[in-house]
Copies of this chain bind each other. A is one copy, B any other.
Amino acid sequence: MSENFGFSDAEQSDGRMLTYLEAIAEAIAQEMERDPDVMVLGEDVGGSFGGAFKVTKGLAERFGDDRVLNTPIAELGFTGMANGMALMGLRPIVEMQFADFISTAFDSIVQFASTAHYRWGGKVPWVIRAPSDGGIRSGPFHSQNPEAWFVHTPGLKVVAPSTPADAKGLLTAAIRDDNPVIFFEAKPLYRSIRSHVPEGEHVVAIGEAATVRDGEDVTIITYGSMVHVATQAADTVPDVSVRILDLRTLKPLDSEAVLEAAKATGKVIVLHAANRNTGFGAEVAALIAEEAFEFLDGPIIRIGGADTPVPFSPPLEDAYRPSLATVADAIKTLAAY
């Protein structure tokens, strides 16, 4: 992959280190243990196989085939089925084999699930797990970051953790949430980062951003895999004091944290791996341009994927994807502004 995600944090001293993928698997297992209404469904999630990324491996043996349900290739249908299950009080965790295939289930998400409670009070407490993001040479249909479609749609919640601990804590919160939550997992982080994850129950509230590091000169607002790119880029510019805000939840957005971070430095970079054009970063930048205008000391720089499909070949994908160098340059530009 194009970036090095050898992420390390202070907590690494602690004994209990899990990968991002292990943290997700742990959250699912613990919630299934706790609540018999929690179940998993999707393509290849069941049996001894446990899904394309093996996130659900072992669950079928442990909780039975009824609660770890293999589906045919029918995203629209099985997500619609999850809508009905959720209306009856089950809490299905729907696995999209890749986030790229979430578009196949679109109506069941953006038309039914997102509107049922607003229209007639029907609760749809499911979670869709969407393995997203690229940098790992998977081509246009296994590398997408479609979060903007869903943030734009009223009635959904959208979460995108960047660390194993947040992955466990936010997935737990998403499963317990009474609304449809789309949980974007950053594939490139699955096995590339390992850090401390609290044992037992661990809940991270949906809707709260986290300050990854404090700083006075420039603020980077980001989420998912790009949090690590931001941190590494900041490290390459030691003479600039960089503040990094990890949004963690995209909807509902922690606007207070965003505005506070923007005001703190007056200089802001908004960064994500998704296509930049009308991406979620545009919302963040527009929010700041409207509500923190008087505090701005420089242009709001947006960095995101190019306005092309995600190409497969390394030189093209690296050019497509926000790089450490691009972010470092933006930091310098703003610092010098």
Which residues from chain A sit less than 8 Å from chain B, CB to CB?
A: 100, 103-104, 106-107, 110-111, 114-115, 118-119, 140-141, 148-149, 151-155, 251, 270, 275, 277-283, 285-286, 288-291, 293-294, 296, 298-302, 306-309
Contacts and interface: CB of A to CB of B under 8 A. Distances in A.
A270 B282 CA distance: 13
Nearest to A75: B107
A120 to B, nearest CB: 11
Q: How many copies of the polypeptide does the oligomer hold?
A: 2
A280 B251 CA distance: 17
A309 to B, nearest CB: 5
B300 A290 contact: yes
Contacts of A279: 152
A290 B278 CA distance: 14
A163 to B, nearest CB: 24
A278 B119 contact: no
Contacts of A154: 275, 277, 306-309
Contact of A293 (B115, B280, B298): B298
Contact of A278 (B280, B294, B301): B280
Contacts of A119: 140, 309
A306 B152 CA distance: 11
A103 B114 contact: no
Given A290-B300, A293-B299, 15 more contacts: A100-B111, A103-B111, A104-B106, A106-B106, A111-B141, A115-B309, A149-B152, A151-B277, A152-B278, A153-B275, A154-B309, A251-B277, A278-B283, A281-B286, A289-B289
Most-contacted residue by chain B among A100, A106, A280 (CB, 10 A): A106
B115 A107 contact: no
Most-contacted residue by chain B among A148, A278, A283, A285 (CB, 10 A): A278
Contacts of A153: 275
B296 A293 contact: yes
25 contacts: A100-B111, A103-B110, A104-B106, A119-B140, A119-B309, A148-B148, A151-B278, A152-B278, A152-B279, A154-B275, A154-B277, A154-B307, A155-B308, A155-B309, A278-B280, A278-B282, A278-B283, A285-B286, A285-B289, A286-B286, A286-B289, A286-B302, A289-B300, A293-B298, A293-B300
